[in-house]
Structure 1
Amino acid sequence: MISTKFETNTEPSTSIKVYRLTDGNRPTIHRFYDTSPVSPSGRYIALTEFPYDDRLPVPGDQARVFVLDLETAEEVYSTLTSAWDTQVGAHAQWGDTDDALYFNRLDSADWSPYGVKVDFIARREDRLDTTVYMVSPDGSAALSPCLRRIGITQPGYGVVVPTDRIKTNRGASAEDGLYSTDTASGRSRLLISFADLISQAGIRQGQSHSSGAFYGFHTKWNPQGDRVMFIVRFAPDSARVGKTENYLFTLAPDGRDVALALGPDEWEGGHHPNWCPDGRSIVMNLIFPRPAGWRMSSSTLAGRIARRLGFRYFPRARRLSFVRIDHRGRETRILAPSSVGSGHPTVDPSGKLLITDAYPSEEVAFEDGTVPIRAIDIAADVETCLLRVNTRPQFVGRNNEYRIDPHPAWDRSGKIITFNGSKDGCRSVFLADLSPFIDNLQSDS
């Protein structure tokens, strides 16, 4: 039962009740759309509060990780950490029980980030050798790319340290890659290097790869904990921030059985892959099927000109779809042909309902800057706008670092989502009970 002390409102068209969990005065977010901030029992929620959101983070500045009791609306844990950034905070997330809260800290003596496992009830904290990006479903292991290097390709997802403390890679590094931590012992190891990853996937490094480097980005466990997704970006030396070639790999948790599910040519224009509940397929926004090259080029140019002139124009040749990809890249198909892809798509635990948000720049966003949280009944191919969310920040940053992405995330029951939004320009966290909507779907089917 969620406390009545939280401010609430009900969406008239869908009867969905929304709880505002934060006060709208202190900028706060939940981690990301692929992990729920709600604890396994459903009683607690873990969030990151920024010290400010009107300027870019400075090395050493501290954010606050805290836990709310959803039944009482009381804060039951709070701690400061310097290991945070603007899109995912300190990566606060849960293991398989309420007594295992994970997030990152930073040793300011040498600017080395590391993960911690906290039992906030017993007031015990265990240090891990390296950082936490995502914890396995059973809580036994944590995976992470290098959180100091991750900002080279896109800021917002790692830790903020002095630039002279960030090592750069060259080509496919043998010393950097994907790291794995045994959460019981805290011991970490390099699970697979970029050199081995590229080699095992059968990718030939061409001349262009010598004038740039591979870096790790999102890493995700599948729901069964027996397969890992690793998004790797190649950043040419001459590229601007965010202009990368993207690769989607999957592999076994022991670092073997590497498969390239999607290469940069197929990925171009797409974004945000996430595991489906079956653990063998991936949903993402993708241009599929891909039109002829000349149509893609002309559409890209037309869209760029329209944006510069201040027009909302979305060429059909670059329209996104929600696409399901086999984890080995052998099969690709559209999930919901009637819906336009956007935002951060996830499929509920039953595999029947897809929800997603949108960026203000995407086709389904509203012209006033608000964005929908949409639900797509996959079998019926029917879309519903569940909620309309204000995502306008007071300060967006040089490279859009402070944008407010809702990142709607399912809880373990498949009935509740948590999302970010703006309350009078302050990033805030909301929780929505989708039970009435889901119950109606089930009664209609």
Structure 2
Amino acid sequence: MRFSRPERLTPANGKHHFFGYYGVCPWDITGRYFVCLETDFQDHMPSIGEKVGILLLDTDTGKHDVIAETNGWNFQQGAQLNWLPSDPGHKIVFNDCDATGTWSRVLDVFTREERVLPMPIYAMARHHDLAACINFGRLYKNRRVTSLPFSIDKNKDMVHPADDGIYMMNVTTGDARLIVSLDDVWKADATTNAVDDELLAEVGTQCWIEHVAFNHSDTRIHFLARFTDLFKSLVSAMWTCNVDGTDRHLAVPYYMQLSHFEWIDDTRLIVTMNWPDKTHKSHVQLTDKVGQGSWRTIAAEKLVVDGHPHVSPDKRLMATDTYIADGKRRVYVMERDTETLHEVAVFDNPPEINGNVRCDPHPRWNRDGTRLCFDGLGEHGRQVYVVDVS
């Protein structure tokens, strides 16, 4: 295989540019227009009033324009910016907030016509105007790195409330309903059901939802149920369920140190976790609703650190990345049939750009799998880079 050298896609205009999370396509349906975020700073988490710009980039001409601004963002997952599945050549959806509430906005990138939705999104479906939504106020307390600058949680004193969890929102109408409650997932697992709620409440522990994504036909989602134990350790389990909340399955139990995920298709997933060796992360393929008998490591001798896996549209390739090692971050592309691994990018990571303001590469394929983009650090600060794949 051949890969071009990484090229900066975003403008050198004195601003920082990034997209945010992995596994979401920033290109429109034509492949010409690219959306990302533009900010003046990268050294601290945003507060209300420190807005980020939504940048529309014409990749044919290089012309770019800030078409909107939002308060609802962070460096790790951006503004949950997506092209709208029903109109991916004209409309985008992204989050916003102020000190009193959170919501999302649907915007036509050309006419600037806009409408507001009652809830912020966490994950968009691939082919339908359907969004999984969570309580970002609860996330603010427990994982500031992926939250919005909004801290109100009506159930702040409850470990696993029955009226909070994952909501499924119709993006056309704005109608939303709770499909999985925190109480549901807490009581469904023997590990958490055996924990003393009063003791956890005394130390301020909460259960929360994170890392939701739709499978390829938008029939099921995966999500993480998380809490901090009495030793202040982050504990996570991965569940799957239908988009109406039925047929829940515990895919990966607690205490496996799992972190990142990717649907390969409707039933197979890739998960990074401490298995089978508990001393380091592996990329593990598993099958939904089958159990641990389906687990197998991917490139077991090569992929021995955590990463953000993203499979190409034709399923031949898997992109992933690394956290900081020896002051550098790396981006890889693996040929899935042979598990041949190619390093396609490496960049220096200054020690001060870490923690909540870190710049994870977060690989993202275009719609035909011929280009891969990722966020990186260089002479122009935080920018989006692209590699051509042939």
Q: Does 1:175 align with 2:169?
A: no
Name the structure 2 match of 1:438: none
* 1:337 partner amino acid: A
Find 1:360's aligned residue among 308, 311, 324: 324
CA distance in 1, matches of 2:270, 2:352: 32
Contact 1:274 1:282 in 2 (8 A): yes
Q: Does 1:106 align with 2:97?
A: yes
Contact 1:32 1:407 in 2 (8 A): yes
Contact 2:221 2:242 in 1 (8 A): yes
Contact 2:3 2:388 in 1 (8 A): no
Gaps (5+ residues) in structure 2? none
Identity of aligned residues (%): 22
Q: Deviations over 1:62-89 (max 9, x none)?
A: 1111211111211245211111112122
Q: Does 1:283 align with 2:283?
A: no
CA distance in 2, matches of 1:325, 1:59: 40
Secondary structure of residue in 1 paired with 2:96:
strand
Q: Does 1:422 align with 2:377?
A: yes
Q: Does 1:391 align with 2:349?
A: yes
Q: Does 1:259 align with 2:246?
A: no
Find 1:328's aligned residue among 289, 292, 295: 289
User: Structure 2 matches for 1:202-351, cutoff 5 A?
Assistant: 205-210=193-198, 211=200, 212-236=205-229, 239=232, 243-265=233-255, 267-268=256-257, 270-276=258-264, 278-290=265-277, 318-328=279-289, 330=291, 331-341=294-304, 342-351=306-315
C-alpha spacing 1:382/1:189, structure 2 compared with 1 (3 Å): same
More divergent stretch after superposition (211-220 vs 416-425): 416-425
Q: Does 1:192 align with 2:180?
A: yes
C-alpha spacing 1:394/1:334, structure 2 compared with 1 (3 Å): closer
Following TM superposition, by how much is the alpha carbon of 1:169 offset from its aligned partner in structure 2, in angstroms? 5.2
* 2:288 partner amino acid: H
* 2:163 partner amino acid: E
Secondary structure of residue in 1 paired with 2:140:
helix
* 1:273 partner amino acid: F
Q: Deviations over 1:360-419 (max 9, x none)?
A: 14xxxxx2x2222112222212211122223336543xxx11111000111211111110
CA distance in 1, matches of 2:139, 2:46: 15
Secondary structure of residue in 1 paired with 2:179:
strand
Q: Deviations over 1:28-56 (max 9, x none)?
A: 21131121111222121111123422233
* 1:184 partner amino acid: T
Following TM superposition, by how much is the alpha carbon of 1:142 offset from its aligned partner in structure 2, in angstroms? 0.8
Q: How many residues align?
A: 379
C-alpha spacing 1:393/1:42, structure 2 compared with 1 (3 Å): farther
C-alpha spacing 1:30/1:63, structure 2 compared with 1 (3 Å): same
User: Structure 2 matches for 1:127-206, cutoff 5 A?
Assistant: 127-161=116-150, 163=151, 167-168=155-156, 170-199=158-187, 205-206=193-194
Following TM superposition, by how much is the alpha carbon of 1:155 offset from its aligned partner in structure 2, in angstroms? 1.9
Contact 1:251 1:258 in 2 (8 A): yes
Contact 2:167 2:180 in 1 (8 A): yes
Q: Does 1:35 align with 2:28?
A: no
Following TM superposition, by how much is the alpha carbon of 1:195 offset from its aligned partner in structure 2, in angstroms? 1.3
* 1:401 partner amino acid: N
C-alpha spacing 1:50/1:147, structure 2 compared with 1 (3 Å): farther
